[in-house]
Amino acid sequence: MMQHKCIEPLGESKSDYQIFQEILHRLDLGAIFTEGCSELDWCKRIFDSTDLPEHVSWKKFVQKGYFVVPPEAEATRAPVSMRWFAEDKMKDLPEPSPLPSQFSEKFGKGVETQSGKIEFVSSSLKRGAKDNPDRPAMNIYTPSWEGLNTRELAEKYPLQLMMGHPRYSFHTFSDGKNSLINDIDEHRVLIDGYYYWTIRINPLDAEKRNIKQHDLVRVYNDRSAVIFAADVSPMVGERMIKTYESSALIDLIEGDGPKGYVDRAGCANLLTPSRSQQKGMDGMASNSCLVELAAWTPPEVFVTHHGQESAVVTENVA
């Protein structure tokens, strides 16, 4: 793709290339960095470094703005994955990192495990993680250390919080920036001049706590407290509540939370454990999270956690 300029740069905005160019000019390294080329020159150089010129001229490519790469010819396509292993042949697929140490026996023979076979009991974990009960060599069911079966904690915080990727924003991209998706009720709901993040609650759980559709709720545990707009429906099971991760905003105000404040922007990540799924690994355990919730009435004056007063209306609208 070769995108054309849509508008003139606003204000003092510059491209990454311009920014680095100007910094390196100040370090007297500009010429080395640019090799005397403008941004467009670089596009041309990269174009020439590919086999694209065999298909389209530079002039035509720039004019059209894109080139659709045709599918690879049948004859030159890669063989079916793993067929070489099933038929006990040498690996005939491209090797992304061709290191001999990846194979136990001959290079390209057998899969890249210590036994060279598909392993139900991992031989590397058997040797290397002997002292880590979190990583058994064979997959077994491990009860959650923070789930509905963790008795004591579940008595205090009886709901399991589940989080998925947001549906209407791409992580934080296009949330919290006054974008049009604020008008989608399943993303954020406008209540008394503030766009609240939504959370799904089963009707039975909502009834117990006297919560109706689009009531504000305070979801809390020992870690934090976050305000959401309730979306009551059986689309989430009993004792589960479901929201999206990656609210782009955090808006801490004084309130009934474990640290003396609550977040009203919907940053559910404040509630989740920082512990990883397994000792010595870095898999997030964000769905191992117990909470309780209660109806929430906004205070008349919001005080930020820095002690400043802010009007009821809304930093996240503008």
| Residue 181 makes contact with another protein by CB under 8 A | yes
| Residue 183 makes contact with another protein by CB under 8 A | yes
**Residue numbers 155-174 binding another protein by CB under 8 A:** 168
**Shortest distance in whole angstroms from residue 185 CB to another protein:** 8
Please measure the distance between the N-terminal and C-terminal CA atoms of the chain and give it in whole angstroms.
34
Return the closest-CA partner of residue 195 out of 255, 266, 137, 127: 266
**Shortest distance in whole angstroms from residue 235 CB to another protein:** 6
Supply the DSSP string of 26-44, one letter for each residue: HTT-HHHHHTT--HHHHHH
User: How far out from the chain centre does Cα 276 lie?
Assistant: 16
Among 203, 277, 288, 303, binds another protein (CB under 8 A): 203
- For another protein, the closer CB: 232 or 262: 232
| Residue 122 makes contact with another protein by CB under 8 A | no
- For another protein, the closer CB: 257 or 266: 266
- For another protein, the closer CB: 117 or 208: 208
Report how far residue 302's alpha carbon sits from residue 158's, in angstroms, rounded to the nearest whole number: 29
Is the Cα torsion angle 27, 32, 34, 36 positive or negative in sign?
positive
- For another protein, the closer CB: 246 or 272: 246
Q: What is the CA radius of gyration of the chain?
A: 28
Identify which range of 30-38, 179-187, 240-248, 259-267 contacts another protein by CB under 8 A: 179-187
| Residue 192 makes contact with another protein by CB under 8 A | no
**Shortest distance in whole angstroms from residue 190 CB to another protein:** 8
Return the closest-CA partner of residue 191 out of 267, 291, 266, 303: 266
Which are the contacts of 256, defined by CB distance < 8 A and separation ≥ 6?
Answer: 218, 220, 225, 262
- For another protein, the closer CB: 126 or 209: 209
- For another protein, the closer CB: 47 or 168: 168
Among 21, 182, 221, 269, binds another protein (CB under 8 A): 182
- For another protein, the closer CB: 213 or 278: 213
| Residue 235 makes contact with another protein by CB under 8 A | yes
**Shortest distance in whole angstroms from residue 317 CB to another protein:** 8
Among 32, 184, 281, 294, binds another protein (CB under 8 A): 184
- For another protein, the closer CB: 142 or 178: 178
**Shortest distance in whole angstroms from residue 167 CB to another protein:** 8
**Shortest distance in whole angstroms from residue 195 CB to another protein:** 9
- For another protein, the closer CB: 128 or 234: 234
Q: Which residues are at the interface with another protein (CB under 8 A)?
A: 168, 178, 180-184, 186, 190, 203, 233-235, 237-238, 317
